[in-house]
Amino acid sequence: IYTSSLLSLSLTWSLPDVADTEVSCVFMERCILPCSFQGSTEVHIHWFRLTDIHFVHLYKNNQDQLKHQHKSFRNRTSLFKDQISRGNASLQLTGVKVQDEGTYECFISTISESKGSFVNLKVEGMRKHTQKTYNSIVFVLYSVLF
């Protein structure tokens, strides 16, 4: 008699309730999203934005692998490559945008460990930037008109 069994796996994926770290970044400035691990020469570093599941940065085989990087992050991310072997996997994000807000995951894979940590990025200073632009426009219009 042949008996078959059906194994059903149900995976539920959700954002973490609380990020490991909260980071406030200034609009249009550069910002560091912290991530660390036990130093290793063989390491894969994956950065994702979980809010909309965008691939942000990948480092493996001792180099950046950005072929599948989401277009909104192109030419705006980097790692501190001289510090990776000492356990620094922090991501530098330049030209921070309001759309960058959200929860990010830094996933590290080495010979001895695999772990993920979460960073919640908030963008500040947008009002200041908008007010400066508004003031500049008003000044230019005033100068032209009067």
Contacts of 77 (CB under 8 A, 6+ apart): 47, 56, 57, 69, 91, 92, 93, 94
Res. 112: pLDDT tops 70: yes
The answer to whether the beta carbons of residues 31 and 76 sit under 8 Å apart is no
CATH number, position 113: 2.60.40.10
The answer to whether the beta carbons of residues 32 and 21 sit under 8 Å apart is no
Q: How confident is the model at residue 9 (pLDDT cuts 50, 70, 90)?
A: very low
Does residue 2 fall inside a structural domain?
no
Per the structure, the complete domain to which residue 95 belongs is given by 21-145
- In the chain, how many domains are there? 1
Output the pTM of the full model: 0.74
Between 130 and 71, name the one with better pLDDT.
Answer: 71
Does residue 4 fall inside a structural domain?
no
Does residue 51 fall inside a structural domain?
yes
Does residue 131 fall inside a structural domain?
yes
Does residue 137 fall inside a structural domain?
yes
Task: Convert 40-62 to b/e letters by CB count within 10 Å (16 or more is b).
Answer: beebebbbbbbeeebbbbbbeee
Does residue 107 fall inside a structural domain?
yes
Q: How confident is the model at residue 8 (pLDDT cuts 50, 70, 90)?
A: very low
Does residue 84 fall inside a structural domain?
yes
pLDDT of 142: 43
Does residue 87 fall inside a structural domain?
yes
Res. 70: pLDDT tops 70: yes
Q: Give one DSSP letter per residue of 58-119, joined into a string.
A: EEETTEE--TT--GGGTTSEEE-GGGGGGTB--EEE-S--GGG-EEEEEEEEESS-EEEEEE
The answer to whether the beta carbons of residues 120 and 22 sit under 8 Å apart is yes
